[in-house]
Amino acid sequence: MTKKIASAVLFVMVLSPAMAQPIVTDSTSRSTTDSTSNSTTTVKSPPPTAVAPAVTVINSDVCAVGVSGAAQTQILGISFGATMTDKNCERLKLARSMYDMGMKVAAVATLCQDERVFTAMMNAGTPCPVDGKIGEQAKTIWENNPERIPQKVKSKD
């Protein structure tokens, strides 16, 4: 009998929350807010920008190099672009062209306009051609006219 009572109490305890009715409460509230705001908006412009132009040399067989730059302050911006000629590159191209056309002495004479090549040729015992003369005749002309020997020239570009 105790088991039946315990079973019945347990049965009621399990089912009673499932069958219970929820408590519903209705509530209404109202709120009114008044606010005043003062604000200031400052629009700042983006920083000024000077852009260096792109200087390109399209043909790769040109002895020129593109150079560009730019500077900017809060008030003034400036930019520039230019090309610079590489004289040694031109000398090499001219000598190569003359050599390819069979003018070997003229090609060597063109290269000898560079003081480094001139010195190397003299040190090797093969003086640079001058006035159509080569070998010992050219060496004699160079020794008698030292003012004609190529000097290191600073680039004007």
Pick from 28, 29, 69, 27: nearest CA to 50: 69
Domain range summary for the chain, segments of one domain joined by + = 49-85, 87-148
State pLDDT tens for residues 67-100.
888 888 878 888 888 888 888 899 999 999 999 9
Pick from 85, 88, 93, 136: nearest CA to 113: 88
Can you tell me the distance from the alpha carbon of 111 to that of 90, in angstroms, rounded to the nearest whole number? 10
**This prediction's pTM:** 0.54
Question: Which tokens belong to 105?
Answer: 């002495």
State pLDDT tens for residues 45-54.
666 777 777 7
Residue 119, H or E segment: helix 115-123
Residues 77 and 49: beta-carbon distance below 8 Å: yes
Q: What is the mean pLDDT of the chain?
A: 81
Mean of pLDDT values over 110-116: 93
